[in-house]
Structure formats: C-alpha cells, structure tokens
Structure 1
Amino acid sequence: METAVDPSRYPAELQPAVQKYEDFIHNKLEPDLTQAIEARDVLYTQMSEYLKLKTHIDTIRTQNLEEMETKVDLGSNFYAKAFVPDTSHIFVSVGFGFHLEMTLDEADRFIDQKVAHMEK
C-alpha cells in the first residue's frame, strides 16, 4: 500500500493515528468514491439516451414524419436498418426492463419527468 503522507514526519505518538486515517482513506473512501463515480456515469449515460430520444421525437414532429427509415443500435455499436411504418407511437424504456408504448406527447412528458428525477 502506498501512503501519501510519510508517518515518520510526525511525532511517534501521532504515527498510529496518521496510519489509521491513511488506511481509512485508502481502504474505505477511495473505493466508495470509485463506486460513486461509476454510478454517476451510468446515470449520465441513461440521461443522455432519454435526451437523444427527445431529440428524435422533436425531429419526427418538425418534419411531420408519418413513417421513417433509421438505424438501430443492436449493441456494441452494431447497427441494423429499421423501418418504422407509424411514428405516432413509440416504445419507451421505463426501467427494470419494461417498455411502454406511448404517443409522442406522452413520451415527451415522461422524458421530462424522468430526466428531472434523475437530476435530483
């Protein structure tokens, strides 16, 4: 284990306390920080996906698209062509692996609420 502070710099009676706090930082706080950063990154990725969907909904509305061709990410940046015959309804992930069919207006409101909740 690497210590940031040389305990020998302190008087002998303080060295155990300094070592105790060093151990606490390295064994508890640093792993907790790493875990919090990873959780934050997952949350930001989810928020980004919802905001991207909101942008697609806006595009469908502004261009009055009733049907469209698009590419769908199947995972690991592997895309397939897709044809959407009816853009009036879309499926939105609501969490826990569930997807709901919504109108564009419902999806728009849901995304606003979901992103606001995630920001809290």
Structure 2
Amino acid sequence: MEDSIQQKLARYDTFVNESLRKDLKDALDARDAIFDQTSEYLKLAKDIEVIKENGLTEMKTQVDLGSNFYVQAKIPDTKYIYVNVGFGFHAQLTLDEALVFITKKEAHLQKKAEKYTEKASQIRAHIKLVLEAMAEIMKLDSTPPPRDLGL
C-alpha cells in the first residue's frame, strides 16, 4: 500500500515539475516577449514625439543591425517612417499615422499580456493545488492506523 502511495506522489511530483512548471515558464516567457514588444513601440512613439516637437526634417541616428552591432544612418526626410506591423511586414506611415497605430498596437499587446498573466495565475493555482494534495497524502500516510481496542 505504501509503495502505491509513493508511486502516486512521484507521479504528481513529475507532473508538477515537467508539465505545470514548463507551462508556467512558457506563459511567462511569452508575456515577457510581449512586454519587450510594447517597450519598443513606446520607445518609437517617444522618438516620433521628439521629431515632431523639434520640427526635425532630417536626422542622423544609429541603427542596430543585430547582436548590438550599430551603424550610423542618415534619414534625409522624416515625413514618413516604416513601422513593423507584424508578420514581417513594414508599412510606410506618416508620423501622426504611426502614433495612432502605436496606440492601437499597445492596447492590443496589453490585452495579450493580460491573457498570459491570467494563464500564469491559473497554472500557479494548479501547482499549489497539486502540492497541497501531495502534502495531504503524505500527512495521511504518516498517520498511524487506528488501534483495535477490543471494545
């Protein structure tokens, strides 16, 4: 009987560590990726505001080519910018159009992040539930059986 209980506890432990914790990590990683995207869009919105406030018609900047390798770039006309709209597509937008797009994109990303936060909370609750059940099983297993007093 005790071997059966130990086997069940081992299966629950494996389920928590190999399934639930992996799902939790995946949900949190996906949410963090969305937060990174949101941060990039907010940074772009701030840059657009600086361009508009200062009336810049041309500018010099540094562009990250990847792996933190930067090159200097000259932007001859700041009327239009290219914005990543998803799925590898970039759209040419005016500064005002870009700000409207960024606002909508930020709201969309926020909703996605909230869904992943909700999912992570549910997974945490499942982990807690399984761990509490395991604790109860161990507590019951360690309780000595009732003695027959011969009454």
TM range (shorter): 0.7 to 0.9
SS of residue in 2 equivalent to 1:83:
strand
| Equivalent AA in structure 2 for residue 89 of structure 1 | Y
Residue ranges of structure 1 left out of the alignment (5+ in a row): 1-10
Q: Which has the higher strand share?
A: 1
SS of residue in 1 equivalent to 2:57:
coil
Q: Which has the higher helix share?
A: 2
Q: Does 1:68 align with 2:59?
A: yes
Q: Does 1:81 align with 2:75?
A: no
| Equivalent AA in structure 1 for residue 108 of structure 2 | H
Mark the structure with the bigger radius of gyration. 2
- Please give the root-mean-square deviation of Cα atoms over the aligned residues, in Å: 1.4
Count residues with an aligned counterpart.
Answer: 110
Structure 1-normalised TM-score?
A: 0.85
% same residue: 49
Residue ranges of structure 2 left out of the alignment (5+ in a row): 112-151
Runs of 4+ aligned structure 1 residues displaced above 4 Å come to none
Q: For each residue in 1:28-56, what CA deviation from the matched residue of structure 2 results, as whole angstroms up to 9, or x when unmatched?
A: 01111121222122111111111110010
1:23 and 1:71 map into 2 onto residues whose CA distance is: 49
Higher RCO (CA < 8 A, seq sep 6+): 2
Structure 2-normalised TM-score?
A: 0.68
Aligned mate of 2:97, from 100, 106, 110: 106
2:69 and 2:43 map into 1 onto residues whose CA distance is: 18
